[in-house]
Amino acid sequence: MNMTKFSTAAALVMLMSAGTTMAAGMAECAGSDISVPGASCIGFVSGNLNGNKPSITDINLNLAVWGVHLTQAVASTSMLSGLSGDNVINFSQQLYGDTIVGIHYGNVMDAQGNESNNVTAFYRFDAGNGAGVDSFTTRFDSLSNATLYSTGTAVTAVPEPGTYAMMFAGLGLMSLVARRRKQK
């Protein structure tokens, strides 16, 4: 068994022993619950596991499935509250690259018709490196709050070594031409 499979199995055992697994008949989240293509999801976990109210241990038990371990609580600027009656998530910053958010819902019904109240789902998605993601929607309008646990930064293109070589060769030619003109 390789270490990745072992880590995932260990994380699942920890989740089960912590009592945060979903009860039979409880709704299950899906990546398609949000409008970002390719999202994956953990949840619905009973209770509000967003922000700094729950212990970071409880949050890490859930995020361990993805191999994520937070070392400190998130900044209050990464939390959105009072989202009731809306299904739009819009953090104050642009999202880039590997992004993890937690969303707390009041009432949800999954594709199998299972309904749950007071649950949290964690979503992980690639927000891209170009324009990133400004905001996204959920298919549920029973939002309570959301927390941005991690996101990347904008990636700017770094020239390849050949590009630098061409630039320096061009500068060298320009200085050679300027020197010859000066001598005439």
- Residue pLDDT, tens place only, 118-175: 999 999 999 998 888 989 999 988 888 999 998 987 665 566 777 767 777 777 778 8
Asked if the structure places residue 34 within a domain, the reply is: yes
Asked if the structure places residue 173 within a domain, the reply is: no
DSSP 73: P
Contact 50, 120 (CB under 8 A): yes
List, for residues 45-61, the tens digit of each pLDDT value.
988 888 766 778 889 99
How many CA atoms does the CB half-sphere of 108 hold within 13 Å?
30
Asked if the structure places residue 155 within a domain, the reply is: no
Q: Using CA atoms, how far apart are residues 103 and 145, in angstroms rounded to an integer? A: 6
Asked if the structure places residue 157 within a domain, the reply is: no
Asked if the structure places residue 159 within a domain, the reply is: no
Classified as helix, coil or strand, 161 is helix
Asked if the structure places residue 47 within a domain, the reply is: yes
Q: Confidence band (pLDDT; 50, 70, 90) for 113?
A: confident
Asked if the structure places residue 170 within a domain, the reply is: no
Task: Identify the pLDDT of residue 3.
Answer: 45
What is the average per-residue pLDDT within 104-130?
89
Give a three-class secondary structure readout of 104-154. Answer: EEEEEECCCCCEEEEEEEEEEEECCCCCCECCEEECCCCEEEEEEEECCCC
Residues β-bridged to residue 106: none
- Structural domain that includes position 44: 3-150
Give percent above pLDDT 70 in the chain.
80
Lowest mean pLDDT across 5-19, 53-67, 79-93, 115-129: 5-19
Question: What pTM was computed for the model?
Answer: 0.71
Q: Using CA atoms, how far apart are residues 172 and 178, in angstroms rounded to an integer? A: 10
Question: Around Cβ 84, how many Cβ atoms within 10 Å?
Answer: 11
Lowest mean pLDDT across 10-24, 68-82, 167-181: 10-24
- Report the domain count for the chain: 1
Asked if the structure places residue 169 within a domain, the reply is: no
